[in-house]
Amino acid sequence: MHDKISALIHLGKFLGMFFETVDQSKASAPPIKLIEPHMSAAEAAKLYQATLKAD
User: Counting every residue, how long is the chain?
Assistant: 55
CA 17 to chain centre: 19
| Res 55: pLDDT | 55
Q: Within a domain: residue 2?
A: no
| Res 18: pLDDT | 81
8 A C-beta contact, residue 5 and residue 17: no
| Res 41: pLDDT | 93
Q: Within a domain: residue 52?
A: yes
| Res 50: pLDDT | 87
Total number of domains in the chain: 1
Q: Within a domain: residue 3?
A: no
| Res 13: pLDDT | 87
- Structural domain harbouring 43: 31-55
Q: Using a cut of 0.75, tell me whether the model's pTM lies above it.
A: no
pLDDT tens track for 1-50:
579 999 998 998 888 888 777 766 766 777 778 889 999 999 999 988 98
